[in-house]
Structure formats: C-alpha cells, structure tokens
Amino acid sequence: MTAAVDPSPPRAVWHQNGDDWMLEVSGNWRRDGPALEVTGTTPDRYPAHYHIDALATYDSTLPAFLLAHIRAVTDVALDKASVPTFDGLPVDLRALLELALAVSEESETRTTPDSSSEIHKLGNLSLEIWTGVRSLVDFIGEAMLSLGRLVTGGASFRGRDFWLTLQECGVEALPIVSLISFLIGVILAFVGNVQLANFGANLFVADLVGIAMVREMSGVMTAIIMSGRTGAAFAANLGSMKANEEIDALRTFGFNPFDFLVLPRLLSLVVMMPLLTIYANIVGILGGMLVGNFVGIPPVLYWTETLAAVSLTTLSLGVIKSVFFGAAIAICGCMQGLLAGNSTAAVGQATTRAVVAAITAVIVLDSAFAVIFTLLDI
C-alpha cells in the first residue's frame, strides 16, 4: 500500500437530484487515516449513480462503507425487487461488491433463542443444573459399569497407561505432599504448644498433632493437592483429546473411552491416595516432632506419646476417607475433560471446573464423613 502522502480526509457527499441520489466519493480512504466525513442526509435508497473522484485512493474501508449502506437499505427496503446499481463505480470496486453481495451458501442464519427475560434465565439455569446432575449420575454409573467389566475381565486398557498414571499421581507428587504435610505438622505443633503450655500440658502437643494429622489433615490436604495437581491434569489431558477428536477415534476403533481412559486414572488415584495419605501422616508427625524438640519434648517421649494417642481406628478412618477422595478427584477431572467442548478455549474452562468441583467434592465428602463417624460414635 502506498504511504499517505496526501492527508486529505475521506469524504462522502450525498446529492439529491429529483428522485435520484448520487454519492460522490473523494479523498484518501485509509483505515488508519483521518476520520470519514459524510455530507448531506443519508438516503434510505440505493444511489442511482456513484461518482468516485479520479484522485481518490482507497483500501477496504471504501467498499466496506458502500456495502454497509447497501445492506442498511436492503434491510428496510419496502420494495424488495429493487436491486442496487453500481453505475459509475470502477471495475475493481464493482467486482468486490458483487462478490460480497453474492448470496452465500449458508443462507440460513442460526439464531440463538432470546434469553433476555428473567423467566428464560431461570428456566435455563434449572435446565443447566438438571443436566449437570444427570451427567454426574451418568458418569458415575458408567464408571461403575466399567469397574464391573474390569472385574469380569471384559474391560480393556493398556497396562502401560495405568503404570504411567500411577507414577504421575504417586511418586511424582511426593515432593509437594512432603512439603505441605511437614509444614502443616509444624503449624499445628506451634499453635497447640502456645495454648497447651498455659495449662502446663505441652506434652499433649504430640496427641494433638498425631490425631489431627491422621484423622483429618493429611487426607484433606493431600486431596486438595491432588485436585490441583492430578485432577487438573486429567481434565486438561482428556479435554484436549476431545478437542482433537481423539476420543471419537477411540470409539470408532471399538474402544470404550471409559475403560480406556477413565478406568486407569480412577484406579491409580484410588490406589495412590491412601498411600500418599499414610505418607503424609508420617511426615506431618515428623514436623510436629521437630517443633516438640524445640519446646522441650524429647523425640523419644514425643513418639511414645503419639503411639499412645493414635489408635488403629483413627488411622483407618483417615485412610478410608482418602479412598473416596481419590475417586471423587478422578471422577471430577475425567468427567470435565470428557464433557469439554470442541475448542482449545474449552480445555481451559474444563480444567477450572474440574479443580473447583474436585475441591468442593472433597470438602463435602469430609463433612459427610464427620457426621457419619459422629453418629456411629467412632
């Protein structure tokens, strides 16, 4: 494109001549040039004649302007039979306008239903919630069927996938789980020590840290870490496979995507979560022991006190809960991944939804367990 040597602004002048209108165009029409100056009233009919100044230069803004006017007239024209004329237009402009006005193959325009009214919004919201619940139930049902097939030997997935996922959500998660649970142990011990020292009972720091870690904190913290780490990874992985039509490809080869993709992930997390939780228990207690050492509880004493406080029941409660947390995280991650839309933007949304859903599910499950265990008096 030539540089703007002449700064004369683009001009469009409407002339009325009896019943006919004429559009006179001059100046430099450039999208990064000066603003357009329109003179005269814009008529609601097609111009009978165009006059393009011989010195006028233009980029796409001129045909865009002409097309917008023709469109506007077509939309309100009472006389649908009248057709725009291109009298006086140079050949190139004329060709472009004809092309732009050619009836497109997609003449049906897709309309989205008008959802502005409150009733509409309420209806849509209810439908959305209902679909959400249904797809969750569907998903859990499918997962159960898939497990059933695994038990009866009918499910097929690659063992390699299972071991890889196991490594991903097991060994590779150890550093972050260690760090977080150690710090949680340290924090609990500090806070507990400040309060218990008032009663001269700071030996009970060991009981506090031990029971809190084993019964609640290890399981919940590990679950939250795994939601962010592994749940998100599942959703992103399956979501991009969906966007790339890889899931459809699996289906057409006769693989059940559930058996092939969801099952190994679900199994890995269900196997790994209890192990990670037991590991987190140990690291958390070590954190408490370190603090105890500073506030005058020798490690040997701390250890004996912990052993006395933490019963096998307490330990099993924490471990049993973690199995359910693992299943919940895997289901949320895989479900959001498989339900993702077919675009790359949808992968991001699916990941966000998976993490939010997984953390919510973990906390809700934990509350439910708290109520159940209280009722059962354990």
Q: Are strands 37-39 and 11-17 parallel, antiparallel or unpaired?
A: parallel
Closest approach of Cβ 36 to other proteins, in Å?
A: 7
Binding of other proteins by 83 (CB under 8 A): no
Touching other proteins, residues 303-342 (CB under 8 A): 341-342
Binding of other proteins by 3 (CB under 8 A): no
Binding of other proteins by 42 (CB under 8 A): no
Helix (H) or strand (E) holding 49: strand 49-52
C-alpha span between 37 and 66 (Å, rounded): 14
Binding of other proteins by 65 (CB under 8 A): yes
Binding of other proteins by 293 (CB under 8 A): no
CB 115 within 8 A of CB 124: yes
Cβ-Cβ contacts under 8 Å for 312 (sequence gap 6 or more): none
The residue from 53, 71, 85, 249 that contacts other proteins (CB under 8 A) is: 71
Binding of other proteins by 2 (CB under 8 A): no
CB 366 within 8 A of CB 220: yes
Closest approach of Cβ 67 to other proteins, in Å?
A: 5
- Amino acid symbol at 263: L
Binding of other proteins by 249 (CB under 8 A): no
Binding of other proteins by 252 (CB under 8 A): no
When the beta carbons of 314 and 336 are compared against other proteins, the nearer one is 336
- Amino acid symbol at 21: W
The residue from 4, 83, 345, 378 that contacts other proteins (CB under 8 A) is: 345
C-alpha span between 332 and 269 (Å, rounded): 12
For residue 89, the tally of other CB atoms under 10 A from its CB is: 23
The residue from 75, 105, 114, 118 that contacts other proteins (CB under 8 A) is: 105
First to last CA, the chain: 81
Stretch that binds other proteins, among 29-37, 232-240, 294-302, 306-314 (CB under 8 A): 29-37
C-alpha span between 179 and 188 (Å, rounded): 14
Rg (CA), the chain: 35
Closest approach of Cβ 378 to other proteins, in Å?
A: 50
Structure tokens at 359: 């953390």
Q: What is the DSSP letter of 16?
A: E
Touching other proteins, residues 142-161 (CB under 8 A): none
Stretch that binds other proteins, among 104-112, 153-161, 188-196, 230-238 (CB under 8 A): 104-112
CB 291 within 8 A of CB 197: no
- Amino acid symbol at 239: G
The residue from 167, 316, 344, 360 that contacts other proteins (CB under 8 A) is: 344
Cβ-Cβ contacts under 8 Å for 96 (sequence gap 6 or more): 63
Stretch that binds other proteins, among 65-73, 221-229, 265-273, 350-358 (CB under 8 A): 65-73
Binding of other proteins by 352 (CB under 8 A): no
When the beta carbons of 105 and 118 are compared against other proteins, the nearer one is 105
Alpha carbon separation from 324 to 22, 171, 276, 329 (Å, rounded): 77, 20, 13, 9
Binding of other proteins by 174 (CB under 8 A): no
C-alpha span between 193 and 372 (Å, rounded): 30
- Amino acid symbol at 164: L
Binding of other proteins by 196 (CB under 8 A): no
The residue from 61, 203, 255, 366 that contacts other proteins (CB under 8 A) is: 61
C-alpha span between 14 and 46 (Å, rounded): 11
Stretch that binds other proteins, among 103-111, 118-126, 252-260, 315-323 (CB under 8 A): 103-111
Binding of other proteins by 64 (CB under 8 A): yes
Binding of other proteins by 36 (CB under 8 A): yes
Closest approach of Cβ 50 to other proteins, in Å?
A: 15
**Which residue ranges make up the site for other proteins (CB under 8 A)?**
1, 31-32, 35-36, 59-61, 63-65, 67-68, 71, 91-93, 95-96, 99-102, 104-106, 109-110, 341-346
